[in-house]
Chains A and B, each alone.
Chain A
Amino acid sequence: MTTAVNRIDKLFADRSRKRFIPYITVGDPTLEATYQLAHALVEAGADLLELGIPYSDPLADGPTIQRASQRALENGVSIGDALQLVARLRKSGMEAALVLFTYINPVMQYGIDRFFSDLAKYGADGVVIPDLPVEENGLAVEAARKYGLHVISLVAPTSESRIKSIGEQASGFLYCVSSLGVTGARESLRDDLSEFLERVKASTAVPTAVGFGISTPQQVKAVAPHTDGVIVGSAIVREIEKHAEQLKDPVQSPEAVEKIKTFVHQLASALQ
């Protein structure tokens, strides 16, 4: 049992500021690079980090994150490594909220209660499980509560009549899927996006964050008025992919990290 206030709650206690939430895949291209990148993202203005645990069959992910998963799996990265990374980040003084992104099957195999217990022990604050809709999340939610963590629910433009019940059950923040489809950078966003985001806002007491497809500072600016947080994944993972070889090389890595930091800073500063 944890009594400390969850960092996600602490973060959103002040809702006058918009929060920037980058996603990266753990172990892409190496665990050491992820550690360095996590710190760089926070320095670039991230308030919460979403750390993806690589999976063999990432159904909700587009090609960019699929390839990141593949690179990480080739390094043999598993849940255990992701937890160790969280522990290492906390030890090094990282205060940003940390949310793990994983599919349900690895969690089931690890053991649902054990997973949340370890998440709390190592210092994570919540989890996003894209293939676990509210109908199936009972066991996970129960375990998360026990350890003072959040299971972040998703809501999509196609959720329609489900928006209300998802909004009522949401915990931590509510992840609004900005476009139909899998993760991946998109040229343009849906015309009816702001309307959808406003509907979600009205249906829930928890803060909202919007993601899936957001890739440019312009898009960040456009959605900001309708949400408490903006999530960017594939666009950052694509930058990491471009610099993968340098990131693997201890000599060249700092320069690559610096470039990615600059890229992320542009996205993060578009929010304020």
Chain B
Amino acid sequence: MKEAVAATRVVPDKNGRFGAFGGKFVPETLMNALTELEAAFAEAMQDPAFREELNGLLREYAGRPTPLTYAERLTEELGGARIYLKREDLNHTGAHKLNNALGQGLLAKRMGKKSIIAETGAGQHGVASATVAAKLGLSCKVFMGEEDIRRQSLNVFRMNLLGAEVVPAVSGSRTLKDATNEAIRYWVSNVEETFYVIGSVVGPHPYPYIVREFQKIIGEETRAQILQMLGKLPDEIIACVGGGSNAIGMFYPFISDGQVALRGVEAAGRGVDTDKHAATLSLGRPGVIHGSLTYLLQDEHGQVQEAHSISAGLDYPGVGPEHAYLKDSGRVTYTSVTDEEALAAVQMLCRTEGIIPALESAHAIAEAMKRAPQMSKDEILVICLSGRGDKDVLTIQDALGSKEEGKQQ
């Protein structure tokens, strides 16, 4: 196995750059808001009262720490490395997204903003933002692509139930990219009274940094839990990458542990040899999307291309700039798995562990199904189970339906 290299630089720098990536490529109207946000975040994180309030909510509202589960039957089935699951699916609202939404929601309140906006793909970040808005007494608008509204109708209903307004994005591919465009346009028009809660480690500086800081609790807990359980660090960690927030949250506390191999898994959709995929790091080129210089799926003229994945949360033509940096530095290995492999992984986890994973998280499981058999029985493999699959059952039923019917007869 390739020895992983420990990254040594502290990123981002004061210009919001992760090596060559990141930055603030946004309309001038937003620049002052970004500067204010950066200052407010720095000040909040130094205030013990803010951290205590956040930690209290994470503990008593979100239900953290989430467990680290030994996946005994999955381990036996695959016949290689011992597999552990970090159970972000057990976080309140069913995904890791709440960690960040709580942090940014508290920050919004501290900055005196009464309304928040958010973009969402799968709907998990939208649900998390709507939840936080309700809990903290803020108003909430969630921008969501029309196509995703169709794919994730349950989550749309949940957001409405929680008191949020879901605003359909009708331009472009009508998915996460377009929802983000609409959220940014709305923010430009209402920047003075609105806080934009970005859902992943994407967007202009300081967002990729802020979201990482709010998500790194995933890796911190995992590190402490595995040390306590086994007295050693894992050999490999796998997480799925859409924008990359669950992956960065998981990886970041292990970055300087060079012996821990880190693998990010993108969506290959119908396959990396087709034009229907979301494998940004594998097949994209550096470019600017949503305020950040990063890997991007684009044509020869720099027009952004539409991404495709069965999983709405991975269906994004960009990726967080820190991942671009970690790819180029070689610290993290990025691979991709197809829709079909992800579906097989859903079934595998359901039947071996009694856990229905989110389609996003199933990409990490599918990669683990390839990796674990190649590892020895005394090696440890941790998977970030970023969310639960309840929101996806209709999609999964659609995709598996005919096959299942066939079997029952």
Contact = CB atoms under 8 A, between A and B. Distances in A.
A131 interface: yes
A216 interface: no
A132 interface: yes
Interface residues of A, number: 40
A57 B24 contact: no
B26 A105 contact: no
Given A62-B185, A78-B301, A105-B288, A133 B31 contact: yes
B98 interface: no
Contacts of A108: 286-288, 302
Contacts of A130: 27-28
A56 B304 contact: yes
B171 A66 contact: yes
Interface in B296-337: 296, 298, 300-304
A110 B302 contact: yes
- A-B pairs with the 7 shortest C-beta distances? A181-B189, A109-B302, A106-B302, A156-B29, A56-B303, A78-B301, A154-B28
Contacts of A66: 171
A68 to B, nearest CB: 13
B188 A182 contact: yes
B301 A109 contact: yes
A230 to B, nearest CB: 19
B289 A57 contact: yes
Interface residues of B, number: 37
A158 B192 contact: yes
B31 A180 contact: no
Determine which residue in B172, B188, B290, B302 has the highest number of CB atoms from chain A within 10 A of its CB, and name it.
B302
B175 to A, nearest CB: 12
A102 to B, nearest CB: 9
B97 interface: no
Interface of A: 55-57, 59-60, 62, 66, 70, 73, 78-79, 103-110, 130-133, 135-136, 153-162, 166, 177, 180-182
27 contacts: A56-B172, A56-B303, A59-B185, A60-B27, A70-B171, A104-B288, A108-B287, A110-B301, A110-B302, A131-B288, A131-B291, A133-B25, A133-B27, A136-B23, A156-B27, A156-B31, A158-B28, A158-B32, A158-B192, A159-B32, A160-B32, A161-B32, A180-B190, A180-B191, A180-B192, A181-B29, A181-B189
Nearest to A158: B32
Contact of B28 (A105, A107, A133): A133
A42 B99 CA distance: 56
Contacts of A180: 29, 188-192
A153 B27 CA distance: 10
Determine which residue in B28, B31, B185, B286 has the highest number of CB atoms from chain A within 10 A of its CB, and name it.
B28
B24 A133 contact: yes
Contacts, number: 115
A62 B29 CA distance: 14
Given A78-B301, A105-B288, A108-B302, A177 B28 contact: yes
Interface in B56-95: none
Interface string B279-291: 0000001111111
Nearest to A161: B32
A132 B25 contact: yes
B154 to A, nearest CB: 28
Contact of A162 (B23, B31, B303): B31
Given A56-B304, A60-B27, A166-B28, 6 more contacts: A103-B288, A105-B296, A105-B304, A109-B298, A156-B31, A159-B28
Interface in B244-297: 285-291, 296
Contacts of A154: 27-28
A110 B303 CA distance: 11
Contacts of A55: 303
B27 A59 contact: yes
A59 B29 contact: no
A162 B25 contact: no
B301 A57 contact: no
